[in-house]
């Protein structure tokens, strides 16, 4: 039987606020255990939560970026369960009237465009961390993370493969960083996914029983966990079994999912409106202000690059995958508007190769878009060949890397002419002077009588060999088009 995989994702994004969602404690990562857990986070008697405006503002921005409805009023609710890393005995979350409702995210898988619908995005607080090792049979509790603001983004079950799910997750990851509401750091847990996976016979309208895989903190694990889980469910169904609805964990070492030991009543959270928090009212003026502060969104930019520069959808997707690349590209092409494709090729090819080698991001790139644009300009106006340009680039990179300041953090325009300086000082300019080229070519023709004869006998290959000799003699600096032309003229004369 043909099976269809159905996937919905819940993405937990940690909002990039300075302080916690309901207290004035810091959210900075990596502090000593419990140094950032204040009386509110510890749920000491008598404390009350006070909502952080910055967390709400980030949620509004997300809502606007995905074309969702921003609810006002919006209600906070208690989600009740007992666990030592949750000192209150409930998590403050949202149930009815989440701050963001609906909206869509567009993904591109190959040439196919697909719209993933969102159910909602709600604000909630994170729990603390439990450490199970090394405490002589006890569990250690660190409450620094307790009360960190999260936006949980819930999609409809609109994805049909692990590839679509990963593409969607990457899109959301890129979007939350793009609009500056989350740093997206997956190692530090700022972006985590839960995947709801079910399977059904192809063509069936009814959803199968789903399993939820919790806490996937890398795109690779997300993909592998979904693939494993779908295979597991299909095998059970093909053997005539039924799927138990359950929460599962992915084990990357064994590449499998397994059921979490869960009590039968674990899912009964007895949500009710939190009497400690009044309804959240979001004025139209607040939404309008958030809207005017939003940057051009990736999808809008993608369409603009395609329309204005005629770039392929492959190029535009890559250039808008990340706000840093997008900004770098925009700044480069602004200096070289006559060749957007050449800019795209270098920003997607040569530059990331160097950045990856040094684990740098586009924001921390030592070469500025202005410097890159000058180099590309010299290819375009024929001063240097593409091959020599790579050599110049290498030298530009090592020169710029010595200063070690990222282009974004320096305002000096001193080195804008770095490419020209290197080309000039090392005499890398292409030989375009026809007199000089002609004498080089004459020399090669005189020294390679055999090749010349072969060419005259109709062997086209011999021509390439001769051109190669000229390039060698010119140490790569001859203009290839010009050499071709002169060589052919001389041989056919």
Write out the residues near another protein by the rule CB under 8 A.
17-19, 23-26, 31-39, 42, 44, 50-56, 73, 75, 80, 82-84, 96-97, 130-132, 135, 137-143, 249, 260-261, 265, 268, 270, 273, 275, 277-281
Give the total residue count for the chain: 493
* Residues paired with residue 4 on neighbouring β-strands, in sequence order: 200
Nearer of residues 51 and 234 to another protein, judged by Cβ: 51
Q: What is the SS3 assignment for 151?
A: strand
Cα gap 152→128, rounded to integer Å:
17
Give min distance, CB of 54 to another protein, in A. 3
- Nearest in space to 41 (alpha carbons), one of 104, 82, 85: 85
- Nearest in space to 389 (alpha carbons), one of 349, 340, 333, 429: 429
Cα gap 79→77, rounded to integer Å:
6
Give min distance, CB of 274 to another protein, in A. 9
Nearer of residues 275 and 458 to another protein, judged by Cβ: 275
Give min distance, CB of 265 to another protein, in A. 6
DSSP string, 202-243: TT--S----EEEEEE-SHHHHHHHHHHHHHHHHHHHHTT--P
Question: Do 4 and 199 touch, CB atoms closer than 8 A?
Answer: yes
Give min distance, CB of 101 to another protein, in A. 16
Give min distance, CB of 176 to another protein, in A. 17
Question: Do 391 and 437 touch, CB atoms closer than 8 A?
Answer: no
Nearer of residues 92 and 321 to another protein, judged by Cβ: 92
Give min distance, CB of 46 to another protein, in A. 14
Give min distance, CB of 4 to another protein, in A. 31
Give min distance, CB of 270 to another protein, in A. 7
Nearer of residues 18 and 204 to another protein, judged by Cβ: 18
Nearer of residues 23 and 368 to another protein, judged by Cβ: 23
Nearer of residues 186 and 277 to another protein, judged by Cβ: 277
Question: Do 428 and 384 touch, CB atoms closer than 8 A?
Answer: yes
Nearer of residues 44 and 481 to another protein, judged by Cβ: 44
- Nearest in space to 302 (alpha carbons), one of 205, 175, 422: 175
Q: Is the dihedral of CA 302, 307, 311, 312 positive or negative?
A: positive
Cα gap 271→122, rounded to integer Å:
14
- Nearest in space to 371 (alpha carbons), one of 341, 349, 351: 351
Give min distance, CB of 225 to another protein, in A. 16
Nearer of residues 120 and 302 to another protein, judged by Cβ: 120
Nearer of residues 278 and 447 to another protein, judged by Cβ: 278
Say which DSSP state 159 is in: B
**H/E element, 120:** strand 112-125
With a CB cutoff of 8 Å and minimum separation 6, the contacts of 291 are 64
Both structure tokens of 457: 């006998």
């Amino acid at each position: 039987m043909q099976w269809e995989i159905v996937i919905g994702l819940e993405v937990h994004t940690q909002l990039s606020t300075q302080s916690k969602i309901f207290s004035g404690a810091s959210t900075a990562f990596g502090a000593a255990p419990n140094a950032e857990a204040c009386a509110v986070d510890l749920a000491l008697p008598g404390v009350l939560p006070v909502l952080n405006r910055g967390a709400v503002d980030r949620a509004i921005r997300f809502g606007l970026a995905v074309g969702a409805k921003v609810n006002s009023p919006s209600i906070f609710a208690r989600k009740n369960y007992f666990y030592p890393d949750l000192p209150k005995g409930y998590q403050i979350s949202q149930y009815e009237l989440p701050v963001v409702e609906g909206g869509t995210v567009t993904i591109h898988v190959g040439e196919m465009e697909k719209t993933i619908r969102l159910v909602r995005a709600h604000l909630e607080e994170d729990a603390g961390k439990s450490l199970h090792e090394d405490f002589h049979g006890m569990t250690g509790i660190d409450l620094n993370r307790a009360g960190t603001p999260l936006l949980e983004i819930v999609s409809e079950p609109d994805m049909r493969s692990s590839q679509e799910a990963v593409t969607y997750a990457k899109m959301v990851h890129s979007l939350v960083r793009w609009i500056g509401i989350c740093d997206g750091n997956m190692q530090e847990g700022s972006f985590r996914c839960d995947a709801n996976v079910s399977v059904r016979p192809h063509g069936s309208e009814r959803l199968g029983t789903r399993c939820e895989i919790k806490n996937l903190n890398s795109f690779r694990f997300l993909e592998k966990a979904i693939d494993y889980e779908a295979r597991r469910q299909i095998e059970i169904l093909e053997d005539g079994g039924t799927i138990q609805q359950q929460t599962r964990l992915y084990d990357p070492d064994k590449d499998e999912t397994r059921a979490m030991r869960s009590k039968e009543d674990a899912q009964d959270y007895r949500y009710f409106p939190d009497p400690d928090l009044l309804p959240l009212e979001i004025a139209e003026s607040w939404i309008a202000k958030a809207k005017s502060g939003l940057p051009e969104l990736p999808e809008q930019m993608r369409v603009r690059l395609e329309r204005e520069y005629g770039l392929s959808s492959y190029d535009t997707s890559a250039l808008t995958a990340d706000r840093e690349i997008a900004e770098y590209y925009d700044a480069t092409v602004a200096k070289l508007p006559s060749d957007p494709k050449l800019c795209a090729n270098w920003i997607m090819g040569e530059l990331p190769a160097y950045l990856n080698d040094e684990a740098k991001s586009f924001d921390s790139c030592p070469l500025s878009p202005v410097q890159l644009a000058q180099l590309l300009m010299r290819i375009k106006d024929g001063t240097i060949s593409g091959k020599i340009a790579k050599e110049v680039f290498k030298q530009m990179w090592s020169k710029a890397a010595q200063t070690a300041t990222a282009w974004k953090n320096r305002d000096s325009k001193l080195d804008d002419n770095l490419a020209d300086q290197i080309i000039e000082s090392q005499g890398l300019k292409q030989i375009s002077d026809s007199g000089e080229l002609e004498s080089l070519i004459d020399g090669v023709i005189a020294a390679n009588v055999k090749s010349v004869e072969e060419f005259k006998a109709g062997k086209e290959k011999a021509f390439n060999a001769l051109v190669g000799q000229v390039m060698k003699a010119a140490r790569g600096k001859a203009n290839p088009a010009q050499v071709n032309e002169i060589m052919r003229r001389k041989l056919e004369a």
